[in-house]
Amino acid sequence: MVREDAALATQSPRIHPVPRALDALTVGSIAGNMNRVGDALAGFIDGFAEALAEHFDRHKDLLDDLGYEEARRYGHEAAASAVAPVVWAEIVGERWDTSTTAEFLGVSRQALHDRLKRGTLLGLPGRGTTWFPTWQFDLTAHAVRPVVARILAAFAETLGQKPDPLMVASWASGPKAGLDGLAPVDWIAAPGRDDQALVAMARRSAAQLAA
């Protein structure tokens, strides 16, 4: 929420904010409280305040018609969208975009798309690209690990539908008791590990989701 005065805004949610009220959230004011809010939060607030001021100036006639509660809801949605890439990256781990993946495998973008459709490769949709977790690649052979297709098939067959790629990526990054406490991404990378155990774990996890 952008407000002219925090105390007044608390007392009356009907107060209509104006663009210049963002002066209260300038870089200078945030920097003065850096030891309290931290660099990350300060950066989010500064960036949000600066961008919001620009949008207000550009679309003032439209935004002036918003009520307090509606604007507050949009603010919550904007905050969630701002931190989502950070959380998402933590879940997915190291990943490559479409161009990097195509170059690594020596294939076209269309070939990658075909593999995604066939369920032999895991890709997560992003803005203007698809993200491919790197654990599914054999870095020496420049190829997709054969077990990837088996994992995706295990989820699809057990769930009765193509699995949500983010769900599979999240599953792959978490430790599993049935894999000696290792996460699937670490099991895959460890030499001498049995792929069948990994596929069986995928089926058990999918069955739990389907229950």
For 30-76, how does the pLDDT look when each residue is reduced to its tens digit (9 = 90+)?
Answer: 444 445 557 777 777 777 778 777 877 887 777 777 778 887 888 78
Largest CA distance in the chain: 65
Q: Mean pLDDT across the stretch 106-111?
A: 96
- In this structure, are residues 139 and 131 in contact, taking their beta carbons and an 8 Å threshold? no
Alpha helices in the chain (DSSP H): 6-11, 27-32, 34-58, 60-63, 68-92, 98-105, 109-118, 146-159, 165-173, 184-189, 195-210
Tokens standing for residue 180: 């000696």
- pLDDT band of residue 25 (cuts 50, 70, 90) is very low
Tokens standing for residue 126: 């992003």
Helix (H) or strand (E) holding 131: strand 130-133
Domain ranges of the chain: 6-90, 95-210
| Cβ-based neighbours of 205, under 8 Å, separated by 6 or more | 155, 171, 176
Q: Mean pLDDT across the stretch 98-109?
A: 96
* Region of residue 152 (phi > 0: left; psi between -120 and 50: alpha; otherwise: beta): alpha
Q: How many CB atoms lie within 10 A of CB 21?
A: 19
pLDDT at position 172, please? Answer: 94
pLDDT at residue 98 is higher than 70: yes
pLDDT at residue 27 is higher than 70: no
For 188-202, how does the pLDDT look when each residue is reduced to its tens digit (9 = 90+)?
Answer: 988 888 999 999 999
pLDDT at residue 210 is higher than 90: no
